[in-house]
Structure 1
Amino acid sequence: MESPRDELDLDRSQVTKAVQALQACLKSSSSSQKLFENDNQAISLLLTQWKIPRKEQTIRISLPHGLRTESGDVCLFTRDEPRMTSEQTVRFYNKLLTERGVKNAIEVIPFNMLKTEYKPFEAKRRLLGNFDLFLSDARIRRRLPTHIGKHFYERKKAPLSVDLESKHLARDMERLIQGTSLTVSNKGSCCMVRVAHSGMTADEMVENVMTAVSTISAKLAMTGKNIKIIHLKSQTSVALPVYTSDLSHLAVVEEARKKARLTKGAKKRKRENKNTEVSDLKTKETEEEKDSIEEEIPQLVPIEMPTKKPKQETISKKGLKKVPKPAAGKGLKKTVKDTKLTKKTPKVTARDLKRKAKNK
């Protein structure tokens, strides 16, 4: 069985034939419609797969010939620098890009400006139409989806993250701006990626197509043999076939899927066995703890109780006397009538009598 990173054997002569036919079609259409004579049409690869992938995947492709000119429409979302206004932040990052050697014209939008000026829905739609490529500072990439809206992702213009603190910033920006990206959806078997434009020469288009196909087949999550058909087309032309896979590739894809299922089932069984072993160990430990606790508990010794019970002191019914309950009002009146005020008289002794007689 082949490895999951097998590259496709793309015929270069077939690609050149398709490119030449596409250029001839574009020339005939531009001569009939002079209105779009100066516009460069995008040329894309249309890929059809044997099996729909289970997970969505984004593949970044670096092309030998760039798709955009130096005056291309590129927007960069940056973070807000501390103690700086939005205008000062824009000047700061423009100066940083020129110092690092970035040649492309890039419009900088700080995060605070994005939240305030581009908060309405119409402003977001206008921003989406004004730029062809969006980049974002890696430090604010997770905060962007709630502020830019779902239309950026529906049109496949999601901002690509870039590390602005990198030492090779110019090289990284050049790869992102002059390259392209493919979004492999898990909702269908077809996907499209832009690889050239009508202003390029035939050799440049062929080189871009060859490098894009080799990168896609190498970076696909599933085996490269999952690609069924590859077409080359522009915005107005028909799709010209470039590559068609063999039916044996479908068997290879099915074998790869079976192997993946078996490995997944084996991993699941290992996890279940580990969980059962851990639970068995826990139950054994708990049983051992219970046994040790039961061994530590001392045996109860019976206490001898006295045979004769002590006599309890009983109070005779005769000793108890009923006390009359005093009436609420009558008792108080009687007690007031019966009480007499008594004066204390001093005691007279014999000495006192003698003193009185002498004084007389």
Structure 2
Amino acid sequence: MAKKEKKQAINPKKAVKPRPAKKGKVVKGVFAEAEPKTEVTKIADKTTVAGQEPLIALKKVVVEKAISELEKFSEKSKQDSEKKSQLFEDDGEALFLQVTNLKFFADKVSLKPKSITVPHPLHNLEDFKVCLFVKDDLIDSETLEQIEAANISHLDKIISAKELKGEYKSYDARRKLVSEYDVFLSDDSLVTVLPKLLGKIFYSNARTTPIPIRLRTGKKLSITTLKNQVEKVGTQIVYVPPMGVNVVIKVGDLSSGLPKLFENVKAIAEHFQNQQIRSLSLKVQSSPSLPIYYAKKLYTEEDIKKTVDEESKPQASVSDFDKGLLELAVDEAAAAKFISKKRKNAGSIQAAKKQKA
């Protein structure tokens, strides 16, 4: 048997150039781990607008207390169950943030995921691999050489739509493909056809759902845009907006430590600042949710005023006979004049009733 070679430390300033590859083949390189962002927008300490309180104000003490309790719960679960102890022996148990909104996150079923940039990546960037799906006519041999020369970090494979129809048509081939890569990116022009080409196995969870990205500048592929999109995806959390008021997003592993987990929670909460969030809760896979934030106000004074104005607005009372006349009317101006007159009469009657009262 061959002796195992010793792993050499990776010099961040030097990167091994990837070997030339044809379309659909692996494009590999050695990449240094990206430095996590240190600047995080404060949610609890700073205001979003001068003189106004932030929409979602998180208290660090509350968040860290919730995480500590979940760590105790997870540790106790390991001790109570030998199976769970083996399951979480190597990797820390995942921590999730449950976000509850006042309204639905999506009005219809969506297959387009959204991303949140966090200061501490969930992926191990040393082994992080990205697969890219592209249209058949987007990348030729010359463009592929340019991509290889650009030395794009983490981009490991490029697959055309034609190859998805042929080489990856079988279920076993798709299952193998979905297990080999951490993130899948797609040319945005393929969004409508990918569900049919990839099948349910890719759209069963947010991690494997292809993220559409814009690759073109005009009709040609932009190498700079591709490089930026691929390199930033390693520091992002992906989720699919549901047709409901609840969405659960992975924050990290409990083994990451309180400071990193808290900063990721803040970054995710900041992402939802412009929505009407009712509550935020933390949980692990088998635990109950521990609330860390409740909205003080679900409705503003403007919402209440708008509702009152709509209720007090006089409504036109149109009888069945009048409706029949309107259906026969050919002149739109005459019909509009008739409705306007009815509304004025309704308003006068309401005003008279208020004066008598």
TM range (shorter): 0.5 to 0.7
Deviation, 1:253, is 9.5
Compared CA separation, residues 59 and 109, structure 1 to 2 (3 A): closer
| Matches of 1:143 and 1:8, distance apart in 2 | 38
Query: Superposition pairs for residues 68-147 of structure 1, below 5 Å?
Result: 68-70=123-125, 71-80=127-136, 93=144, 96=146, 99-104=149-154, 106-147=156-197
SS of match in other structure, 2:154: coil
Q: Spell out, residue by residue over 1:3-34, the C-alpha distance to the aligned partner (whole angstroms, 9 max, x if none).
A: 9x963112222112222333344445456514
Compared CA separation, residues 26 and 174, structure 1 to 2 (3 A): farther
Q: Which residue of 2 aligns with 1:327?
A: none
Deviation, 1:240, is 2.1
Compared CA separation, residues 279 and 7, structure 1 to 2 (3 A): same
Compared CA separation, residues 253 and 20, structure 1 to 2 (3 A): farther
Q: Which residue of 2 aligns with 1:208?
A: 264
Q: Spell out, residue by residue over 1:305-340, the C-alpha distance to the aligned partner (whole angstroms, 9 max, x if none).
A: xxxxxxxxxxxxxxxxxxxxxxxxxxxxxxxxxxxx
Does 1:245 find its partner at 2:300? no
| Matches of 2:277 and 2:58, distance apart in 1 | 12
Deviation, 1:176, is 2.1
SS of match in other structure, 2:136: coil
* One-letter amino acid of the counterpart of residue 189, structure 1: V
Q: Spell out, residue by residue over 1:267-298, the C-alpha distance to the aligned partner (whole angstroms, 9 max, x if none).
A: xxxxxxxxx9x9659xxxxxxxxxxxxxxxxx
Deviation, 1:42, is 2.9
Does 1:17 find its partner at 2:17? no
Structure 2 portions without partners, runs of 5+:
1-48, 216-221, 314-328, 335-357
Deviation, 1:113, is 1.4
SS of match in other structure, 1:217: coil
| Matches of 1:114 and 1:237, distance apart in 2 | 40
Q: Which residue of 1 aligns with 2:241?
A: 184
What percent of counterpart residues are identical? 25
Contact (CA 8 Å) 1:59, 1:216: kept in 2 or not? no
Contact (CA 8 Å) 2:129, 2:154: kept in 1 or not? no
Which structure is higher in helix share? Answer: 1
Q: List 4+ stretches of structure 1 deviating above 6 A.
A: none
TM normalised by structure 1 equals: 0.57
Question: How many residues were matched structurally?
Answer: 250
| Matches of 2:204 and 2:212, distance apart in 1 | 18
Compared CA separation, residues 254 and 96, structure 1 to 2 (3 A): farther
* One-letter amino acid of the counterpart of residue 216, structure 1: F
Query: Superposition pairs for residues 206-245 of structure 1, below 5 Å?
Result: 206-218=262-274, 224=275, 226-245=276-295
TM normalised by structure 2 equals: 0.58
**Greater Cα radius of gyration, structure 1 or 2:** 1
Q: Which residue of 2 aligns with 1:198?
A: 254
| Matches of 1:54 and 1:82, distance apart in 2 | 31
